[in-house]
Every structure is written in structure tokens, then in C-alpha cells.
Chains A and B, each alone.
Chain A
Amino acid sequence: MVLISVSVYTIITIPYDEAVILWRAGEQHWLDVPRNAYPTWFSIVLQKRLPETIIADTSKPAVGSVKVIVPAGEQLRVLKSELSFRFEYDDFPSEINVFYRVHYSVSPPQITLTWVKPDGSQIELRKMAPSSDGSYYLMTDPRIVSEGLNRIQTATGERPDYELTAPVVLFGVEDASILKQETLQVMKGNYRLVIEGLLFDPHSDFDAKLVVYGKVYGWAGTDHLRRDIGIALLWGTPVALAFGVVAAISITLIQMTIGALSAWYSRVLDAAIQRINEVAIVLPLLPVLIMVQTLYKLNIWLILLIVIALFSLGPGVKFYRAQFLQLKELPYVEAAKAYGVGNFRIVFFHLMPRVLPSAIPPIVFAVPDFVFLEAVLAILGLGDPLTPTWGKVIEDAFYGGALFKGYYYWILEPSLLLVVTTMGFVSLGLALDKVFNPRLREV
């Protein structure tokens, strides 16, 4: 069962090699994606329809996107476009932005943006004469809020007892319920963004893209830079597995080789290896690793090499050396020696194969250690600066205030993957242990 889960992992992850580019593309690439959005399945958990992101563009003909230009004189033309969408969710959107593109040769077009709510009430958003492409962040427009306040005051005679925000003004039901934060209601139905403009020369044009950011995105949610966490989680899987497996296998093999050489060629080589090994034991490995990483900001595969180099000495070598010292005295080795087999051949073809089976469960057990080691480096901000990994997501979440602000999904998702991976390898190790060490079966 564990094997299946592990292999399913790897299969899922293979096509995600291009993720690095996506992950590092910066905020530009993720402009249409909400910030800190919950995973989509949160709607089901909370029994509440959380808004998804709605995008409407006047330059792309679609249902709900109308654009008409009527000539009104020699040069003058009138533009009227309308973006409409249905909003049937139980919660307010997180942000609303309008991105616009403008063309003109002499004087910029005069544009008026009007917001029409399902009940027909109109809110004039902005009059402008944009001279270049740009964006209009409704969240940061103080006028929307102050005019909303005025309207509410004339309608109900009272002021809301909380800080009014643009999404509430634009999407809320404006009656007594808007006065208190707990009773806020979302007005459901057809919303329209009406764009009216005067185009002053024949080639001028104006297109707008409305993005109503939701509160959910994808199966994993997004982080503070609007990036889809799912990409990091998926791409992090092969990285973590490869890192852990390669590190565990090569370190064990190198330790075994050194141990075998040390045991076989006793005297000078043995003494030298033992002394070097003692130095390695006294050196704190993680601090040294952190130091190297701080100075050089290596990429993940170089980190892997350094890890292998650093961890290849240490208590493991002593352990294998003790095992080989026992093996050395066995009759079959004596026989091989009597046959005139070379030293090299004895070490690699007679001694090491004998120990290999018993070393396989420890290798499997060691894989999670190295997966966590990578995560540790990432959490300390010392990981590979380019590759998205689980540790990196945890780091972003930790310093992005996931624990303080309650974005628990952000930290729980990568952690859960770490748990699944670790449990997978541990159970695999336990199973293999029983196969390779039959004596344990009785225990």
C-alpha cells in the first residue's frame, strides 16, 4: 500500500519540470490570481460558497462582454462597453482590479467607469483620461468607501460600526444589515461594469479587463505573492524524493566502502581513516552545512553533493568497520585469500555484498531524515533560491504569518506531504526489515 502511494507520487510529478519557471515568474505572472486564497475544497468544508475569481475582458468577445463604438462627429466617437457577470457566492471577493489598455494618437480618451449592482443602483467609480496602459485598484480607492458611507447614511440614518471596505460597498446589500459586520449580506445576481468613453481620434481605442478576485483558488490555495501553492507542492515531491533517496543511498554506500577499506587494510590506512573520522564527529555538521550554504547559495543538487560529502564520515563508518572486522575473520574470506583473490576484489565482491542486505532498511529509514534536512535548510532561508520545495512553502508560510493570520492550509499542506512521505518510508523500512532480518520476526 505504501509502495503504491509512493509510486503514484512519482508518476504525478514527472510532467512538472517546468514549474520552476512558473514559480519564479514573480507577481506579474500571477496577476489574475487572488492573494492568500484558500483551496477550492474549503467551500465544502465551510458549507459556504466562497467566491472564485471572475475575469471579464472587453477585448475578448464572450457572453457578458459587450463593446460598441458609435461615430458621433467627424473625429469623435462614443465608446460603450459593458462587462457583466453573475455573482452567487456567500462571501465577498478579496480584491477587485481593472486592468486597461489604451491606444490614441493625439489626446487620450475620456473614460467613465460605473458599477451597476443587481438591484439597479449605480456607483460611479471613476472618471479618467488615461494616457497609457495601467490598472485601477478598486480596493485602494478611498472615494468608493466615502461615497458608500454617504449613501448608507442617507438610506439608514446610521453609520456602520466597523471599517467599511470597497468589496462591501460594491457587493453588499445596503440596508440595516450593512451596519454591523456580523450581519453583512452579499447581494447575489447580475453585476455590470459599464465603461463609457469619448474617443477623440480615429485610431484610439480602450479595452478593460475586470478581475474580481475570489477567496479560493486551485486545489491548494495561493500564497502571499498570489502563487499557486499546488505547483510548489507537486514539484517539491520529486525534488524531496530524489534528494532523500540519493543522499541516503550514496551516504550509506560511501560509509560502507570507507568502513570496509578501513577494516581490510588495517594499520596505516585504518589509523588515518579513524583519525579523520574523529575530526568529522567533533565537527557539527548542520552548522557547517549552513555556513557553506550561507556563503555560496548553492542550488539544490550542489547542496546534495555537499551533504553527501559531509555526512559520509561519522559514526556510520565506525559501525560498518566493526561489522567488517568480524566478517574479515570468516572462513570464506580466508578461502578467497588462499585462492589469491586481490584485495580490491575481496573488499568489493566478497565483503560488501555480505553486508548490503542488512543495510537496506537503514537506507530506507534515512530517506526522511534527508528530506527533512532539505526542509530545514529551506526553513532557515538557506535552501536553493530557485527550486520550489516543501520546505520553501513552509518557510514562506512561517514568515508570511500563516500561523498568526490563520492561513493554516498554507502550512498544513506541505507538512502533510512530509508526514505522508515519512510514514511511507518508515513503513517500507519496517517491512523490509522483517524481510532482510528474519530474526526480528519473532520479536
Chain B
Amino acid sequence: MKIPNQAVYLARRALVLMLTVIAAVYITILVANMGGYVDEIVKSELLFQITTSVRQNPAFRGLNETAFNRLVNQLYEQRLEQLGLNQPFFVRSIIYMRDALTLDLGRALFLTSDSGSKSVRLIILERLPSTILLFTTIQLMLFFIGLLGGLFLSRRYGTKTDRVLSYLATLSAFPGWFYGIFLILVFASWLRVLPYGGMVDIPPPEDRFLYALSVLKHMVLPMMSWLVAYSFFSIYTRRTFFLIYSSEDFVEVAKAKGIPEPQVRRRYILRPTLPPIVTDFSLTLVASWTGAIVTETVFNWPGTGRLFFEASVIFDTPVLVGLVVIYAYLVAVTVFILELVYALLDPRIRTGGS
């Protein structure tokens, strides 16, 4: 009876998460389109484009006023049908949602990918790697700094180092981009040793190795800004976490049994604290992939965050919705994987619980 329990639990969670994602996507579409508000802008833009193109086309030069208008209207209706804009908003939003959920993200209204494509999926996929590269590196570094620093400090509980670090944790009250501005000021503007922003030198180096080196050089400042902003805080929270766990009874027992200190740390403190730490890590990682709009804007980093900003400036709804959809998917999938792992590891869930 064990396996069905797990399966039922997981299936139920998967269903709930699926519904959550659907609701989130639909809300996003509603907000982005605000009752057809954006459609109006799109339609008038479309009419303008068609009118201009017909006017400029030498083949239609001889047309009189009524024939001209009829042609424009005809082309306009055709385009509307092509774009699916002639149905009522409710129907359109449902169609849009279905497309979004199947990751058929449609075509961007204005933005294009570097290769010139208008497919939202291509545009986003093109930007995703640079974001993932930067922020996965940052989050991994933060993870290890927090873990090791936290372990180190929890052993030196109450010492001067501990106290100094608790105060340094208040540095995290400032967001990463805020430090970014200062770092640009010092290293780019004043010392002129590191670039202001961007991802590679212009023109990009031909050589693979030099290219990687150039990217690395551009990554230093954004990385530093986040490390300064968040590493002390993550050390501090880990420290508190470990401290709470190291006063648990089973740790005391292990110590009383005479198990050497490093082994106690590894088996009795790190082991039970790891699942929540990993949860925390994976969720912040996913969040940082889209959540770093300002950092990417400040550093001119060509990732999804800046794409979001660019899309919002020129009202490119499909791109905005596409990004939010992908983000919601990422969060939901991460949560589901975590629950899968938990269901396999945590005995309380394995037995089915209540």
C-alpha cells in the first residue's frame, strides 16, 4: 500500500501545481492585456502600418480615395484574422492562454532575436543562457559561501568574529544592483580596470578562450555586487540555522557518545539541515533567473531580466507573457521536483501521513 499512497500524493500535488500555473498565466494575460487595452494600441499601429505600406507601394499609386480606403480595410481585416484579433477578448484570452501553456508563445509584436526571428520562444531562449550563466554562478557561490561560512561561525558562536559578521549581515538591506552602481563607479569609472557593463568586448574576440575570458571579465562586477550584498546575510542565516540544530538532543547524544567533532558536524548537523537548505537554494536560484531585472539593466547584461524591461518599455505583450509563463513553469517544476525528492526521502510523507 506504500507506493499508491505516494503516487496519489504526488498526483494530487501535480494537479494542484498545474492549476496554479494555469491561474497564474491567466492572471498575467489579463493584467498584460488589461481588458483589451493593449489590443487597441496594436490595432491602431497595424492600421497605420498598412496605410503607410499601401501609400508607398508604387503599384497602388493610381488608386482614388475610395478604392484606396477599401484596399486598406481589406488588408487590415486580413491581418486581424491572421493575428486572431477579431474575436472577442474573452475568447482571445483563452486562445492565448492555451498557446502559452503549450509553450507556443507566439510572435513578438516588435522585438526580434539577434538572428532576426520574431518568435517569442527564440527570443527568450536566446537570452536565457546568459542569465542562467551569470546567476547560477552567483547563487552557487553564495550557496557555498553561506554553507561553509555558516558552519565555521556556528563553531565560533559568541566570539568577536561572530559578532562582527552579525553586524555585516545588515549590509544585505541594500539590494545587489545598488552596490552595482558603486562598483561601476569605482572599478569602471574611476580605476578603469573593468568594463561598465555588457557581456563581451566589442567587437567580440574570435578566439574561444579569449571570448570566455572577456565574458568572465564582464561577469566580475555583477558577481561582486551580489556577493557583497548577500553573502554575509546568507552566512548569518545559515549560522543561526546550524546553531538551532546543534542544540538538538540527537546532536548532544552523538557528542556524548564520543563521536569526533567533524563527524558530528557532517552526519548529525549537516545531514538533517540539508533538505531545507537545498529547497531554499533551488527556489532562490529560480527566482534570480527572472528576478534580476534591475541588476541586468544596470550592468547592461543581455539576459531575460533586461529583455523583460525592454519588452515592457515598448508594450510587447507576447514577450512579457512568455517570460512570466516560463518563470511560472520553472517555479512549479522546481517545487514539484522538490516534493518528489521529499516524498522519496522524508519518512513522514512516505507513509502517506494524514
How many residues does chain A have at the interface if contact means C-beta atoms less than 8 Å apart? Answer: 42
Question: A422 at the A/B interface (Cβ < 8 Å)?
Answer: yes
Return chain B residues, CB-CB under 8 Å to A283: 24, 27-28, 324, 328
Known interface pairs A278-B20, A283-B27. Does A295 touch B34 (Cβ–Cβ under 8 Å)? Answer: yes
Interface contact A422-B297, CB-CB below 8 Å: no
Question: Which 10 residue pairs of A and B lie closest in terms of their CB atoms, listed nearest first?
Answer: A294-B312, A282-B24, A279-B23, A403-B189, A282-B328, A278-B20, A426-B170, A422-B173, A283-B24, A426-B173
Contact A279 B182 (CB under 8 A): no
Contacts of A296 in B (CB 8 A): 34
Instruction: Give the residues in chain A near B17, CB-CB below 8 Å.
Output: 278
Q: Which B144-195 residues sit within 8 Å CB-CB of chain A?
A: 170, 173-175, 177-178, 181-182, 184-185, 188-189
Q: Which of B257-265, B268-276, B287-295 contacts A (4 or more CB under 8 A)?
A: B287-295
From B178, B181, B196, give the contact of A404 (CB < 8 A): B196
B279 to chain A, nearest CB (A): 12
Residue-wise, chain A 393-417 has the 8 Å CB interface mask toward B (1 for contact) of: 0100010000110101001100100
The reply to whether the CB of B200 lies closer than 8 angstroms to some CB of chain A is no
Query: Which chain B residues border A353 with CB–CB below 8 Å?
Result: none
The one of B28, B184, B315, B332 in contact with A294, judged by C-beta atoms closer than 8 angstroms, is: B315
Contact between chains at A295 and B297 (CB < 8 Å):
no
B89 neighbours in A (Cβ, 8 Å): none
Given A288-B31, A290-B312, A295-B37, verify A372-B175 contact (CB < 8 Å).
Answer: yes
A286 at the interface (CB under 8 A from B): yes
B16 is an interface residue with CB less than 8 A from chain A: yes
Contact of A279 among B20, B178, B196, B313 (CB under 8 A): B20
Q: How far apart sit A430 and B20, CA to CA, in the bound complex (Å)?
A: 37
**Secondary structure of the B contact surface, majority rule:** helix
Selecting from A113-121, A177-185, A376-384, the interface stretch reads A376-384
A423 to B169, CA, bound (A): 12
Residues of chain A lying within 8 A (CB to CB) of residue B19: 275
CB contact under 8 A between A415 and B182, given known A282-B20, A288-B31, A290-B312: yes
Which chain A residues border B242 with CB–CB below 8 Å? none
Chain A residues lying within 8 Å of B28, measured Cβ to Cβ, are 283, 288, 291
Write out the residue numbers on chain A whose beta carbons fall within 8 Å of the beta carbon of B293. Answer: 286-287, 290, 376, 380
User: Quick one: CB contact mask for A281-317 with B, threshold 8 Å, 1 for yes?
Assistant: 1111011101110111000000000000000000000
- B residues less than 8 Å from A382 (CB atoms): 312
- How many Å from the CB of A119 to the closest CB on chain B? 39
Contact A394–B181 (Cβ < 8 Å): yes
- Complex Cα gap A415–B298 (Å): 15
Please tell me which one of the listed residues B20, B184, B324 contacts residue A275 in the complex, with CB atoms under 8 A apart.
Answer: B20
Q: Which residue of chain B is the closest to A373 with respect to CB atoms?
A: B175
Q: Is B68 positioned at the interface, with any CB of A under 8 Å from its CB?
A: no
Residues of B within 8 A of A275 (CB): 16, 19-20
Chain B nearest Cβ from A140, distance in angstroms: 29
B281 at interface by CB-CB < 8 Å: no
User: Shortest distance in angstroms between B327's beta carbon and chain A's nearest beta carbon?
Assistant: 5
Chain B CB within 8 A of A167 CB: no
Q: A408 CA to B185 CA in the complex, in Å?
A: 8
Out of A278, A282, A291, A365, which one reaches B32, CB within 8 Å? A291
By a CB distance below 8 angstroms, the chain B residues around A426 are: 170, 173
13 further interface pairs, Cβ-Cβ under 8 Å (given A295-B32, A419-B174) = A282-B20, A283-B324, A286-B293, A295-B38, A372-B178, A379-B294, A380-B297, A382-B312, A398-B298, A403-B184, A403-B185, A412-B185, A426-B170
Give bound CA distance, A290 to B297, whole Å.
Answer: 13
